[in-house]
Structure 1
Amino acid sequence: MNKKSLLIGIIIGMAILSMANLVFASIGGSNAAEPQGIEVVVEPGDTLWAIADRYNEQADMSINELLFYIQRANDLKSAIVQPGDHLTIPIE
């Protein structure tokens, strides 16, 4: 095999890998890019537990599972919320 054939093979291989990367990124990236859900505003007296209890059936999760996902979706460091906070509730 001469140098020209090897170079052409490398270029074609890189092009195929690049195309495959684009295809797989578009397939897997659509759900991970934006969390789906509804936005709620925390009212006075609300707790994260009460909010998870209110929406757990819609989310088809236990209260504890939804509590975890609410914290993760909203980058909360603790379960403490304040009136006026906007939270995304991950409901499919």
Structure 2
Amino acid sequence: MKMNKKSLLIGIIIGMGILGMANLVFASIGGNDKPANPLGVEVIVEAGDTLWSIADRYNEKAGMSINELLFYIQRENKLDSAIVHPGDHIIIPIK
């Protein structure tokens, strides 16, 4: 089968379109584990802070009870326990 210039050009255009779409699909799957804009405010734990005191400070702004916010902070920040240390960065949801 002999390919003329027109068929070759159409094949190249279709191939580029398929590669472009595949690139968009794989780019949308991502690999970025950290959201660009976290949902909330970042708090840096200071000396004397506990997770309870931080939850107590922000619970009204977050629209949650202290216990709900405490649980949320632990879950969303992937904390193994309620122990935090000065310098830790945690995200607090603020509506």
What is the TM-score when the length of structure 1 is the normalising length? Answer: 0.62
Contact 1:36 1:91 in 2 (8 A): yes
> Is 2:84 aligned against 1:78?
no
Runs ≥4 residues deviating over 2 A: none
The structure with more radius of gyration? 2
Q: Which is richer in helix?
A: 1
Amino acid corresponding to residue 50 of structure 1 in structure 2: S
1:88 is the counterpart of 2:91: yes
Shift of 1:83: 0.2
| Residue correspondence of structure 1 range 62-73 to structure 2 within 5 A | 62-73=65-76
Equivalent-residue separation in structure 1 for 2:60 and 2:91 (angstroms): 16
Given residue 81 of structure 1, which amino acid in structure 2 is its aligned partner? V
Please give the root-mean-square deviation of Cα atoms over the aligned residues, in Å: 1.3
Q: Tell me, which stretches of 5 or more residues in structure 1 are unaligned?
A: 1-32
- Measured against aligned partners, the alpha-carbon deviations of 1:14-63 in whole angstroms (never above 9, x if no partner) come to xxxxxxxxxxxxxxxxxxx7751000000000000000000000001000
Which residue type is aligned with residue 90 of structure 1? P
Q: d(CA) in 1 for partners of 2:61 and 2:70?
A: 13
Structure 2 stretches of 5 or more lacking a match?
1-34
TM-score (norm 2): 0.60
Amino acid at match of 2:40: G
